[in-house]
Amino acid sequence: MFYEVRVLDRKGKVKKVLSSKSLSKRYWNSFFEGPGAAEALKKPKGKKESEANDKSKAGYKNLYFSED
């Protein structure tokens, strides 16, 4: 959510008013069209299943809990 912004001059008088709707449009347009937008829309890379299920790695559960 964006709040209305009032731009003031040196004397404190309102020079410009930016509505919340225009600020929202500006933000989302720059988000999807700006630099790095293609990377932001890609699926995040996670661990492979074989790495996540590897029991040979030392970890909290592997050190303190056994499957026996």
pLDDT at 33: 79
Number of domains making up the chain: 1
Per-residue confidence (pLDDT) for residue 60, from 0 to 100: 61
Does 37 fall in a domain?
no
In a domain, 57, yes or no: no
In a domain, 27, yes or no: yes
pLDDT at 30: 85
Please list, in sequence order, all residues whose beta carbon lies within 8 angstroms of the beta carbon of residue 15, skipping any fewer than 6 positions away: 7, 8, 9
* pLDDT tens by residue, 16-27: 999 999 999 998
User: Is residue 19 in a domain?
Assistant: yes
> Looking at the domain assignment, is residue 6 inside a domain?
yes
Specify if 41 maps to a domain. Answer: no
Calculate mean pLDDT across residues 49-60. Answer: 58
Tens digit of pLDDT for each residue in 2-54?
A: 999 999 999 999 999 999 999 999 988 888 777 766 666 666 666 555 555 55
* 26 in a structural domain: yes
Is 12 domain-assigned?
A: yes
Domain of residue 13: give its range: 1-31
